[in-house]
A and B are shown apart, each in its own frame.
Chain A
Amino acid sequence: MAAEVLPLAQLKLPTGPSPVTAEQRYWKSFKNQKSHTSTASWPISHISFPGGSTLTSTSLTAATKQNDLFAVTSGPRVDIFSIRKREPLKTIGRFDSEAHGGEIRSDGRVLVAGEDSGRMQVFDVGQGTRAVILKTWHIHKQPVWVTKWSPTELTTLMSASDDKTVRLWDLPSNNPSRMFTGHSDYVRCGSFMPGNSNLLVSGSYDETVRIWDARSPGGSVLAFKHADPVEDVLPLPSGTTLLAAAGSTISVLDLVAAKPLKLITNHQKTVTSLCLASNGRRVVSGSLDGHVKVFETGQWNVVSGSKYPSPILSLSVITAGSTQEDRHLAVGMQSGVLSLRTRLAGPVTEKSREKAITQSALELGDMDALEALDKQKSKRKRKSMSAKSMARLGEGVDTIIPTIDPSKKRRVKLKPWQKDFRAGRYRNALDQVVDMSWPEYQPVTALTLLTALRHRSALREALEGHDEVTVLPLLKWVNKYMSDPRYLSICVDVTFHVLDLYSEHVGGSKELADSFQSLWGRVTRETEKAQMAVMTTGMVESLMMATQ
């Protein structure tokens, strides 16, 4: 029946006009940036990740689970990176001219890439440091910009070239199984429609997006005309919606109704790259204006965004784990820099944190910290051991009564200032929370405590008994937050009390006098601001009256 002791609940202040949303927090959590500069700073033209295209194919998820590779195309090279290590594993440099669109197959064994000469090559990426060429086609006469593996069939792939054609290939055969013609300009992007290796989509510099069906003879089955050259196309996992980046806009196309749904105009310059994220619930776009924007797929609102120092040519959200959660945000730029931002979740975070602590402790030679760490580890080990032995013990019996009730929550440990507050040592508690050099310092903590003190009629008691030095942080705090309307009321109360208690000592202490002086200055400025605001209100009101 006895109530549980909980730490003082933090005050929930009214949120401002633009609070950080959960979505923004999520995308902010992609940090730990790691940059690779490509050889001779070739622009990063393409980043591909096999998982990205296999979202809908269930048969291959097992293969992608072990997959640890993604390919980055820059200049005449294709670099193969490890997802886990975030480092290049090997480089394929066997291109005569600039390489385009290096794509790893969903089983992670082979890679296909086109190049400016029109040649297409398939490499074995499995073993050895040197990639073996498995297959070469030289059918396209113009640079091949797109080579993509079918998401469902391992031996099917497509290509799109500046020779205005889109071709469908079967891996063993030397000639394309199908050639689609109809574009009147360079075809610079294309993709298989999800779940069906017969349906293809391509975007061209003739400002059209065309849907091709391998089963139907003749030209494209559907075409969408845009106002600008199409730089990228991205079919959504549903297979009925298509995104196309044309110029600085992204158009959302409905394939069933055969009409555009929405035009997204959030970018300032040409959108170069589109990618799915968060299991197909978000779309990430990169543009030459250096912005990466994240869209939700319902109303196509921007939910988050970030800025990169150079025009973005390619990007990809690389997933990992069985649940396909977003792990890296890879952005390739004009300057030849590949930026990898990583989000660690769950046990991965914990492990990496632990590693960092051990590392820093080792570096500093802090034996105490190491010992504490060891202790923690062994405690955890013991716990799991005892759980194991319990399980073994339980083999013969019907029910096991665990020693630790799993439903019982661990008791929240109180922080020192919370303990002081509970014990009625209000002055100590207050001194801790208003100290801005305190590592856990947060203005709202101080506000929480001050408000709680006011609720307990203990504000004055907490402010009493300071000397001219210890009262200074308090005045500094008040001075800093006086201007925030949410802090104003409590700041006023604290100031009244402090003036009441310590004004007689101003003559004896220069620091105190200075503090009061700056506080006075602050208050004066704030009052002036308020007066200005009132005057403005008056003027606006009279304007309003006049218009009525």
Chain B
Amino acid sequence: MGHKMDANGETAALKKRKREPKDVAPLTPKRQRSKSQSKPKNGTPKDATEPKDKPTPASTAPVQPAAGDLVPTESSALLEARESSSTWKVSNPMGGRMLDIDPIFSPDERHLVITYNTSIQVYGTNDSLLVRRIPLPVTRWESGKESTTAYIVASALSKTAPEYVWVACSDGRVWHINWTTGEGAETPHTIEAKKILDMTVEAVEFSKSTQDVLFVLQKLTKASGQIVAYNSEALSTKNGKLVHTYHESPQMLRTAAGGRLIVAAARETVQIGLRTKKARSFNDLEFRFHSFGVADLITSLDIRALTRRNKDGSVEIESANLALGCSHGAIFEYTDILSKLPKVGATPATPSKAGYIHPRKHHWHRRAVHSVKYSEDGNYLVSGGAETVLVLWQLDTGHRDFLPHLSATIENIVVSPRGSSYALHLDDNSAMILSTAEMKPTMYVSGIQSLVLGDRHSKEFLVRREKSSGEISTPLVAASNPTNPAQIFLCVGSGQQAATVGDEVSTPLLQVFDTASFQGVSKHAIARTNATEANITTQGVPIIEPRVTKLAFSHDGKWLASVDEWEPPESDVVPFLTGSKTVEEACRERREIYLKFWEVGSEDTPPQLVSRITEAHHTDKPETIFDVASDPTSSRFASIGNDGVVRFWTSKLRKRDGLAATGPEGQQLRAWTCSRAVALPVCGQDDALEDSTNEDSRSGAIAFSEDGSVLFAAYGAPSEAAVVAIDTETGTLRDIVSGMFRGEVRAIKSLGSCLLMLSDDLTVYDIVADELLYSFSLKETSEAAKRLTQLAVNYTSRTFALVAPIPTNDQRLRRGAKSELLVFSVEDGEPQMVHTFPQLITSVLPAAGSSGFVLVDSAAQIWSVTEGAEQGPLLQPLVDTNMDGDVPEAEAAPMDLAVVEDEGDASDAEMQDADREDEDMEDLDIHPAVVAPQRLAEIFNAAPAFAMPPIEDIFYQVAGLFSAKPLQAQN
């Protein structure tokens, strides 16, 4: 205590306060009091018993009930009851992650159907706009509990009815969905199978009719699988026809030539099946299987079969080529594979072993070939993988063409039905269509590109390359622009799967994501990237890019502050170790930490770097920047670092010798500089300071008060951190509150007169009344889980949200990890809502301009949480309002109007004009009106429902959108 007084006795204000109750002991009764206040409200016997279990007031050790990750004073059953009665509600998840499943072209190439983890989404290929989102109930909920961890494994277009797609789920459900209407999503067929691995669809000619036949690869054991065929009848009776059983690890299934040819890949062997006879009916399907070995693990395959029609009308396969992409980067091509198979006699039941067939080998890829496809004419092979290069192999000459430097690993390649374009699905949750002639993108869609926990292992992991825990251990850094609430800014890397990026997450890119249209708007590099360089070293280790750790917008949305960190991988610093230096210390000495200030322009222009501060916080080495906060009233930022200094940053006109410095276009340049540095008093034992290990375990956070007059800075060693109130005008210390943190400081926020402090406790403290309102203890969890515990404040609804992963036995936050959200108001110690999410929540943001919160989860989905009374902008799934380009219904109205007008004054000259107008109308028909959903959103979200303009005005605005000439509409 004596030490503290010395440290605090610096200013008069502090001496005067003499806050004796700074010690822990007097605080605890307060905490106890707040608890006891909440007790009568609950009133259930269980609650009454719980406080009794609490330890003595002097100790702050938490109790840990079984349910929930906090220590609430009520049972989870009660929470459920409260939730149903509360006004808060959670929307359905939006967005999602594109799965490693080939996107599907519609036969007329006007639509692209992309399979997401929880939905099927149909995009128009000419305008990149979402036409329809068909949600699929992939995760089944039984009495509030998630029962299975199913995921979609395959989707394929129906060959007989092209408006239908078949979608297979790993748990045996198969949907037959009309993607033009969305029918069928609720009524899946079910197959009795342990696990479906893959599915293909072929139109098989039977004697009476041509039917869709589904070939389903089912897993029997880890090392055996079977291929079962189903038609729609068999699906309803659940009696498929077993085609083949084999005893190798089953992996992939492809079919060709109207179901005459089946190829199944199983690690290092290929099972190839030929239909033995013409099938009269479904039950006649019979195949003769051969198998042969491949020199490497198969990661992708494609077959191209040519058929010919005999004189008697029967169809048979003329030749078939097979291309296999392998995990070490080789592509094996088997031309005319059928002729190389041994000719076996009658017994189709026993598969023949063909041994090893010599293929042609194409080797350029360094790592696994994620996708390989034949071009439409069969002259080219198209392949892609983690090198982010699309390789075009001219098969006759062996010449290679490249389309390098795509934004992420190529996962899937699909050749369009006419062969005029390729659809690519990249690992950064984006898909594009490239025209084959110019290799220019004609369509691009991207979802949220943050890290996800994948359902299936990436193809890279067939070969053990580097150590990776496959967990998400750092929160997603995100911010929303105060001037444009529909856009959120996410810091993302160049890949999406948590499993592939390793433990060192690099997030050098800033994705601008529009929540109204649910599309990525743009992506900008805000730290060093190696987009055009090889992304692995010669040793095969991925190159680490900087990680953006903080992001903050100024109050007017014109400026963006970002912090990025980079340190060399540990293996690099081994030669620098001398004396007693540890690897960590050597890394830390070479760390590069930048504080950058960006000028945010309009939507289309990337943010412009205005100032880069190299070592914003430093001692003898660059120090971590714990937090960056933006002043809610002026364009000012503040930062706190491990050097125990709070720095205020303001912009000013750049001057040289009294002259304003100007940019290339003569615009005045601004620069951000540190306008004030406030050294924080060190609380805690002085001798602890000398200890260098202690220095690294310090933590800190800052928050501006709502009026921007005070900055609250929390800083210190674990459990010793104190909150300092700094006058932002003078830089003097106004107040010090200590003993509020247990463990590391995670976050501090200010809401009205209250301070919200998050460490291992969640504490709400009234700074004016000097009173602890209430406090909760968080359960013991792993370090990663603590990092993912986040706090967000919504000033509109005066509430705050806490998100934390639910502790499990597994210390790592891998797939299956769940998160819990609690929404509190300051006055009430009871959470207004408790909700468990089936995925890990990686980021929580206050919804700008409304009273809710926006959450991003580990499946690239966005959830919005809103107060029930208000319809948040996120809640309206605008994309579901179905603006299908096929039906230009909107044009009908202006056409009618034109006719009516012309009838009004019917002179001949006018009639000619009318003819001309009709022609114009026909032009309109050719180019359907392209209306971006956000434009509609602008009209409908202009004001809250009670303050909307008259319905007539809205009608004309909407009509104006649709009736405008296409060119104008695009402008």
A associates with B:
yes
Give the residues in chain B near A454, CB-CB below 8 Å: 568, 572, 590
B405 touches A2 (CB 8 A): yes
Alpha-carbon distance between A2 and B440 when the two chains are bound, in angstroms: 9
B572 touches A303 (CB 8 A): no
Alpha-carbon distance between A497 and B573 when the two chains are bound, in angstroms: 10
B543 touches A1 (CB 8 A): no
Smallest CB separation, A186 vs chain B (Å): 36
Alpha-carbon distance between A1 and B439 when the two chains are bound, in angstroms: 9
Verify if B534 is at the interface (C-beta below 8 Å from A).
yes
B657 touches A301 (CB 8 A): yes
Verify if A424 is at the interface (C-beta below 8 Å from B).
yes
Smallest CB separation, B7 vs chain A (Å): 17
Verify if B658 is at the interface (C-beta below 8 Å from A).
yes
Verify if B955 is at the interface (C-beta below 8 Å from A).
no
A489 touches B590 (CB 8 A): yes
Alpha-carbon distance between A12 and B656 when the two chains are bound, in angstroms: 18
Stretch at the interface among B321-329, B350-358, B524-532, B781-789: B524-532
Alpha-carbon distance between A21 and B657 when the two chains are bound, in angstroms: 9
Residue from B534, B612, B658 in contact with A424 in the complex, judged by beta carbons closer than 8 Å: B534
- 453-479 of chain A: CB within 8 A of chain B: 454-461
What is the chain B residue whose CB lies nearest that of A12?
Answer: B612
What is the chain B residue whose CB lies nearest that of A2?
Answer: B405
A296 touches B658 (CB 8 A): yes
A303 touches B661 (CB 8 A): no
Verify if B967 is at the interface (C-beta below 8 Å from A).
no
Verify if B461 is at the interface (C-beta below 8 Å from A).
no
What is the chain B residue whose CB lies nearest that of A301?
Answer: B658
Give the residues in chain B near A497, CB-CB below 8 Å: 575
Give the residues in chain B near A12, CB-CB below 8 Å: 612
Alpha-carbon distance between A161 and B531 when the two chains are bound, in angstroms: 74
A62-94 interface mask toward B, CB cutoff 8 Å, 1 = contact, 0 = none? Answer: 000000000000000000000000000000000
Alpha-carbon distance between A456 and B537 when the two chains are bound, in angstroms: 7
Smallest CB separation, B150 vs chain A (Å): 33
B537 touches A5 (CB 8 A): no
Verify if B689 is at the interface (C-beta below 8 Å from A).
no
A457 touches B531 (CB 8 A): no
Chain A count of residues within 8 A CB distance of the other chain: 33
Give the residues in chain B near A298, CB-CB below 8 Å: 658-659
Verify if B893 is at the interface (C-beta below 8 Å from A).
no
Give chain B's interface residue range (CB within 8 Å of chain A).
Answer: 35 or more
B575 touches A460 (CB 8 A): yes
Give the residues in chain B near A455, CB-CB below 8 Å: 528, 543, 566
B532 touches A4 (CB 8 A): yes
- 105-157 of chain A: CB within 8 A of chain B: none
A1 touches B407 (CB 8 A): yes
- 395-439 of chain B: CB within 8 A of chain A: 403-407, 432, 434
B639-660 interface mask toward A, CB cutoff 8 Å, 1 = contact, 0 = none? Answer: 0000000000000000011110
B563-595 interface mask toward A, CB cutoff 8 Å, 1 = contact, 0 = none? Answer: 000101101100110000000000001100000
Alpha-carbon distance between A302 and B531 when the two chains are bound, in angstroms: 45
What is the chain B residue whose CB lies nearest that of A298?
Answer: B658
Alpha-carbon distance between A22 and B575 when the two chains are bound, in angstroms: 43
Alpha-carbon distance between A301 and B575 when the two chains are bound, in angstroms: 52
A1-45 interface mask toward B, CB cutoff 8 Å, 1 = contact, 0 = none? Answer: 111111000001010000001110000000000000000000000
Alpha-carbon distance between A449 and B572 when the two chains are bound, in angstroms: 17
Verify if A323 is at the interface (C-beta below 8 Å from B).
no
Verify if B541 is at the interface (C-beta below 8 Å from A).
yes
Smallest CB separation, B775 vs chain A (Å): 40
Verify if B175 is at the interface (C-beta below 8 Å from A).
no
Give the residues in chain B near A3, CB-CB below 8 Å: 405-407, 531-532
Interface centre among B444, B539, B576 (most CB of A within 10 A): B576
Interface centre among A4, A455, A459, A460 (most CB of B within 10 A): A455
Smallest CB separation, B669 vs chain A (Å): 11
Verify if B538 is at the interface (C-beta below 8 Å from A).
yes
Give the residues in chain B near A14, CB-CB below 8 Å: 614
B659 touches A303 (CB 8 A): yes
Smallest CB separation, B592 vs chain A (Å): 9
Verify if B810 is at the interface (C-beta below 8 Å from A).
no
What is the chain A residue whose CB lies nearest that of B532?
Answer: A5
What is the chain B residue whose CB lies nearest that of A300?
Answer: B658
Verify if B53 is at the interface (C-beta below 8 Å from A).
no
Give the residues in chain B near A5, CB-CB below 8 Å: 405, 532
What is the chain B residue whose CB lies nearest that of A456?
Answer: B543
B528 touches A22 (CB 8 A): no
B543 touches A296 (CB 8 A): no
Residue from A302, A424, A457, A496 in contact with B576 in the complex, judged by beta carbons closer than 8 Å: A496
Verify if B886 is at the interface (C-beta below 8 Å from A).
no
- 527-566 of chain B: CB within 8 A of chain A: 528, 530-534, 537-539, 541, 543, 566
Verify if B342 is at the interface (C-beta below 8 Å from A).
no
A457 touches B537 (CB 8 A): yes
B612 touches A299 (CB 8 A): no
Residue from B434, B530, B538, B543 in contact with A461 in the complex, judged by beta carbons closer than 8 Å: B538
Give the residues in chain B near A6, CB-CB below 8 Å: 532
Verify if A493 is at the interface (C-beta below 8 Å from B).
yes
A2 touches B404 (CB 8 A): yes
Verify if A505 is at the interface (C-beta below 8 Å from B).
no
Verify if A422 is at the interface (C-beta below 8 Å from B).
yes
Give the residues in chain A near B533, CB-CB below 8 Å: 422, 456
A296 touches B534 (CB 8 A): no
Verify if A368 is at the interface (C-beta below 8 Å from B).
no
What is the chain A residue whose CB lies nearest that of B571?
Answer: A457
Verify if B26 is at the interface (C-beta below 8 Å from A).
no
Alpha-carbon distance between A388 and B819 when the two chains are bound, in angstroms: 68
Verify if B137 is at the interface (C-beta below 8 Å from A).
no
Give the residues in chain B near A424, CB-CB below 8 Å: 534, 538
Alpha-carbon distance between A6 and B531 when the two chains are bound, in angstroms: 10
Verify if B9 is at the interface (C-beta below 8 Å from A).
no
Give the residues in chain B near A422, CB-CB below 8 Å: 533
Verify if A500 is at the interface (C-beta below 8 Å from B).
yes
What is the chain B residue whose CB lies nearest that of A426?
Answer: B538
- 478-520 of chain A: CB within 8 A of chain B: 489, 492-493, 496-497, 500
Verify if B949 is at the interface (C-beta below 8 Å from A).
no
Give the residues in chain A near B539, CB-CB below 8 Å: 457
Give the residues in chain A near B590, CB-CB below 8 Å: 454, 489, 493
What is the chain B residue whose CB lies nearest that of A20?
Answer: B656
What is the chain A residue whose CB lies nearest that of B407?
Answer: A1
Alpha-carbon distance between A23 and B568 when the two chains are bound, in angstroms: 40
Alpha-carbon distance between A333 and B120 when the two chains are bound, in angstroms: 84
Give the residues in chain B near A301, CB-CB below 8 Å: 657-659
Alpha-carbon distance between A3 and B576 when the two chains are bound, in angstroms: 36
Give the residues in chain B near A459, CB-CB below 8 Å: 572
With contact pairs A296-B657, A301-B658 given, residues A2 and B543 touching in the complex (Cβ less than 8 Å): no
A291-320 interface mask toward B, CB cutoff 8 Å, 1 = contact, 0 = none? Answer: 000001011011100000000000000000
Interface centre among B404, B575, B661 (most CB of A within 10 A): B575
Smallest CB separation, A485 vs chain B (Å): 11
Residue from A2, A4, A21 in contact with B656 in the complex, judged by beta carbons closer than 8 Å: A21
What is the chain A residue whose CB lies nearest that of B541?
Answer: A457
Smallest CB separation, A494 vs chain B (Å): 11
A296 touches B572 (CB 8 A): no
Give the residues in chain B near A4, CB-CB below 8 Å: 405, 532
Alpha-carbon distance between A324 and B177 when the two chains are bound, in angstroms: 73
A23 touches B407 (CB 8 A): no
A302 touches B572 (CB 8 A): no
Verify if B441 is at the interface (C-beta below 8 Å from A).
yes
22 residue pairs from A and B, CB less than 8 Å apart: A1-B434, A2-B403, A2-B405, A3-B406, A4-B532, A6-B532, A21-B656, A23-B656, A296-B659, A298-B659, A301-B657, A301-B658, A301-B659, A302-B657, A303-B659, A454-B568, A456-B537, A460-B575, A461-B538, A489-B590, A493-B576, A496-B576
Given contact pairs A22-B656, A302-B657, A454-B590, enumerate 14 new A-B contacts (beta carbons under 8 Å).
Answer: A1-B432, A1-B441, A2-B403, A3-B531, A4-B405, A21-B656, A23-B656, A299-B658, A455-B528, A455-B566, A457-B541, A489-B590, A496-B576, A497-B575
List the 8 closest pairs (A to B, CB-CB), nearest first.
Answer: A301-B658, A299-B658, A3-B405, A3-B531, A21-B656, A1-B441, A301-B657, A5-B532
